[in-house]
Amino acid sequence: MKPFSALLALTLLLAAPLRADENVTHFADTDPVMNAAIDQAQDTLPLFVRNAFDGDRLASPDALVKVAFEVGTDWVEVIWVEQLGKVGPNWIGRLANDPIYMDGLAYGDPVAFTTEQIYDWVYHIGDRAYGSYTTRVILEGLDTEARAQVRATLSDRPLPPGW
């Protein structure tokens, strides 16, 4: 079993950022609920790309993806990436949070990754965050105040109307 660390990056959804150590939740790679959320996000990724990207392979600034980066041989850190672009089948972007386990990288650093590394996506439309399948799983484990703040921004349904 290869556990993975999911960096929540709730600063994208909360008005007040949490400390780095409050942003990390660990899940085993065999967690069925988290794996179902990742599968749903990956299944709807083509809809996200079709709606969030322009013809020049650049995404809206309101679009982010949560990407799994290997750190060592036994862990991956899952972190939000913004300023998205596509170069052929590959993706580029900038880290939207300070990583916890990715030595030498910080908020805003450029990264490259593949579609297979994408575990989730979020698209902000107005005052609502769509997608965020993994955040929806983690939601119940948050304290009451953080859960209320996330729910205030998170859409009732993962897909925007018309997708």
Would the pLDDT of 28 be above 90? no
pLDDT of res. 38: 95
pLDDT of res. 160: 95
pLDDT confidence tier of residue 140, bands split at 50, 70 and 90:
confident
Task: Give me the long-range contacts of 106-114 (CB less than 8 A, separation at least 24).
Answer: 111/67, 111/69, 111/81, 113/67, 113/69, 113/81, 114/89, 114/90
27-31, 106-110, 154-158: lowest mean pLDDT where?
27-31
Q: Count the residues in the chain.
A: 163
Instruction: Please tell me whether residue 26 adopts helix, strand or coil conformation.
Output: strand
Strand partners, 71: 75
CA distance 36 to 133: 9
95 versus 88: the higher-pLDDT residue is 95
Would the pLDDT of 72 be above 60? yes
pLDDT more than 90, % of the chain = 62
Would the pLDDT of 80 be above 90? yes
Q: pTM to 2 decimals?
A: 0.83
pLDDT confidence tier of residue 74, bands split at 50, 70 and 90:
confident
User: End-to-end CA distance of the chain, in Å?
Assistant: 36
pLDDT confidence tier of residue 42, bands split at 50, 70 and 90:
very high
96 versus 13: the higher-pLDDT residue is 96
